Amino acid sequence: MRQISYREAIREALAEEMARDEQVVLMGEDVGCYGGCFSVTSGLIDIYGPHQVIETPVSEEGIVAVAVGAAIMGMRPVVEVMYGDFSTLASDPLINHAAKTRFMSGGRQSVPMVYRTPMGSGTGAAAQHTQSLETLFTNIPGLKVIYPCTPSDAKGLLKSAIRCDDPVVFLEHKNYGLSSLIPEEDYTIEIGKADVKRKGTDLTIITYGKMVSQALSAALTLEDDEISAEVVDLRTLRPLDTEAIRASVKKTGRAVILHEGPAFGGFSGEIAAAIVEDEDTFRALKGPVKRIGGQEIPTPFNKNLEMQMAPQVSQIISVSLSLFS
């Protein structure tokens, strides 16, 4: 095992897959000499050249449209879009073409492309660069949606995404400096499998992305009240690992669902449905399913206000304790 950052883990996955298959190409604004908006792709153009690391004009719709066409013709493009908020500009080729081509061609064509973009808070970049839009993608049949927390998961899942024959939306949190241990050897992680980041017996906290770290901090504090909290990291939002969710909730009898975007219309509703629609899981509940989301406001520019907009550890603790009162 060795210690690397979230940023380095994604870069390693890209480098290894580009070396393994020359049809894997990286496309995006400033991904070459500049090294990407968050320095994820730094140095890759020096190794693989402009044929595999392709600098593009500032046109998210154009970049993704070209990638869809390239993928249909046999390449495996990885598109980097600077901020997840700009996905609204790329929505037509991604949603109306990439997601639907296999179905509309009767299975004769596939779109093996990866759409990479950072989501959520942490940069002080205000309302148009800080949203959590993952739920938009999960409502589109034909797209796989991945949102890893740890460097190890990010690397293994990105490698699997690049090898996948269907379009994958790969979301990254902006805490690119987060570091952890990863295996030395080459590895992949299966898409669609959740991971229990912390075992517990009294309460299940279900989350993904940046909020996994918040959940683990809250679980540690809850120990002081003799509450054993299990933290389930979904890792993949679509397909959703309902078996892992239900197995944990049936064991603990209590569920708190956590994500950074607003709770109203958020992905937590789908997770809650997975719990209550299963008869055995519903019967195992000892209290209501609780949801925690970000504040119902556009993200403020002031960084202190931005930090308060996302769910706080204290909030997770308070909601969790309410299930035992």
Catalytic residues: 60, 129
At 284, list the tokens.
């195992």
At 195, list the tokens.
């991971």
Cα angle 246, 248, 254 (rounded to 5 degrees) comes to 95
Residue type, 19: A
Is the CB of residue 110 less than 8 Å from the CB of residue 166? yes
Q: How far is CA 187 from CA 18, 112, 173, 203, 212, in A?
A: 15, 20, 22, 31, 22
Q: Where in the chain does DSSP place strands (E)?
A: 2-5, 24-28, 53-55, 76-80, 114-119, 144-146, 168-173, 179-182, 195-198, 203-207, 229-233, 236-238, 255-262, 290-294
